[in-house]
């Protein structure tokens, strides 16, 4: 039973958000690492992300049954009752918010609440099912962990925090569109109006190229603004150009699903490396 509850929290998503949080936290720390603050921030944000994922599972159980990759989730099969899932999600969220507010600052807490409300309230409850712009709005919540990590240290929403928000929000777009193309049949079966389903795969590919260009320029602005060094700058440029190259290749591939899966995997690798680079190649 523990395994089923753990799966409701989507450990992969928690881990991915933790990596980006570490990047933002260490970028703001600039070598002055506070292990207690770091542990409190990491644990609290992980609890809140887990809470959001459980709420998302609860909300999506009627469409998860229609999708091949989600039809065996515990809430769909009845292994966990919706009532118990709601209690579990609420406890995780309250614990996380309380810990974050107690151990960090009000700014970080407000940011995590904003991200949570956007993800659960706006995206999961309504936009995911009704609007092609759901991905765009949802990208704000996905970008919050590195910003929260940064603000937990700095206690201010400065240019560095804004750039992080822009970078990670933009990254969500081609990343999410790649998933939607790769899992096109699932999204179509569940009538989820993601861009590839609503306006076609070709249109989605064009958007992917545009968003990757914007993402690459945004990543470089961290160095231009004086927050990271030139190792980060060169690596970010190379990764962005390689991601763009793969995106452009998508216009001539014979199998969109294979291409989209590769583009998705590369996006995960790129954002992980970028988070590590900003953590180690910071400017004092």
Is 111 found in the same domain as 3? yes
pLDDT tens-digit map of 4-21? 999 999 999 999 999 999
Is 209 found in the same domain as 78? no
Q: What is the DSSP string of 164-224?
A: HHHHHHHHHHHHHHHHHHHTHHHHHHTT---HHHHH-HHHHHHHHHHHHHHHHHHHHHHHH
Is 200 found in the same domain as 123? no
- CATH number of the domain within which 142 lies: 1.10.357.140
The pTM for the full model equals 0.95
Is 188 found in the same domain as 72? no
Q: By C-alpha distance, which of 233, 238, 235 is closest to 283?
A: 233
pLDDT tens-digit map of 90-121? 999 999 999 999 999 999 999 999 999 999 99
Domain boundary among 156, 185, 214: 156
Is 163 found in the same domain as 107? no
Is 233 found in the same domain as 214? yes
Indicate if the pLDDT at residue 222 is higher than 80: yes
User: What pLDDT, on a 0 to 100 scale, did the predictor assign at position 116?
Assistant: 97
Is 193 found in the same domain as 183? yes
Domain boundary among 156, 182, 217: 156
Average pLDDT, the chain: 96
User: What pLDDT, on a 0 to 100 scale, did the predictor assign at position 2?
Assistant: 86
Residue that wins the pLDDT comparison between 69 and 220: 220
Is 109 found in the same domain as 2? yes
User: What pLDDT, on a 0 to 100 scale, did the predictor assign at position 1?
Assistant: 76
pLDDT grade for 68, boundaries at 50, 70 and 90? confident
Is 264 found in the same domain as 150? no
Count up the domains in the chain and report the number: 2
Mean pLDDT calculated for residue range 130-141: 96
Domain containing residue 256: 158-284
Is 71 found in the same domain as 176? no
């Amino acid at each position: 039973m523990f395994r089923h509850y753990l799966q409701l929290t989507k450990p992969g998503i928690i881990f991915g958000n933790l990596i980006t949080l570490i990047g933002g936290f260490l970028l703001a720390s600039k070598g002055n690492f506070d292990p207690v603050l770091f542990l409190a921030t990491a644990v609290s944000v992980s609890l809140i992300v887990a809470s959001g994922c459980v709420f998302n599972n609860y909300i999506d159980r009627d469409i998860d049954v229609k999708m091949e990759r989600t039809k065996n989730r515990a809430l769909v099969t009845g292994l966990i009752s919706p009532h118990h899932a709601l209690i579990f999600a609420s406890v995780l969220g309250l614990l996380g918010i309380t810990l974050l507010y107690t151990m960090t600052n009000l700014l970080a807490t407000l940011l995590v609440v904003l991200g949570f409300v956007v993800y659960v309230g706006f995206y999961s409850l309504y936009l995911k099912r009704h609007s092609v712009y759901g991905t765009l709005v949802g990208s704000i919540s996905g970008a919050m962990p590195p910003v929260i990590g940064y603000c937990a240290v700095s206690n201010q929403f400065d240019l560095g925090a804004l750039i992080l928000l822009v970078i990670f929000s933009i990254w969500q777009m081609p990343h999410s569109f790649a998933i939607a193309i790769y899992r096109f049949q699932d999204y179509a079966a569940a009538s989820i109006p993601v861009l590839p389903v609503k306006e076609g795969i070709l249109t989605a590919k064009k958007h992917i190229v545009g968003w990757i260009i914007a993402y690459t320029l945004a990543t470089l602005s961290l160095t231009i603004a004086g927050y990271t060094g030139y190792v980060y700058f060169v690596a970010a440029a190379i990764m962005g150009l390689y991601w763009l190259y793969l995106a452009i290749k998508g216009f001539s591939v014979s199998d969109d699903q294979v291409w989209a899966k590769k583009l998705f995997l590369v996006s995960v690798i790129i954002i992980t490396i970028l988070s590590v680079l900003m953590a180690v190649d910071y400017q004092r």
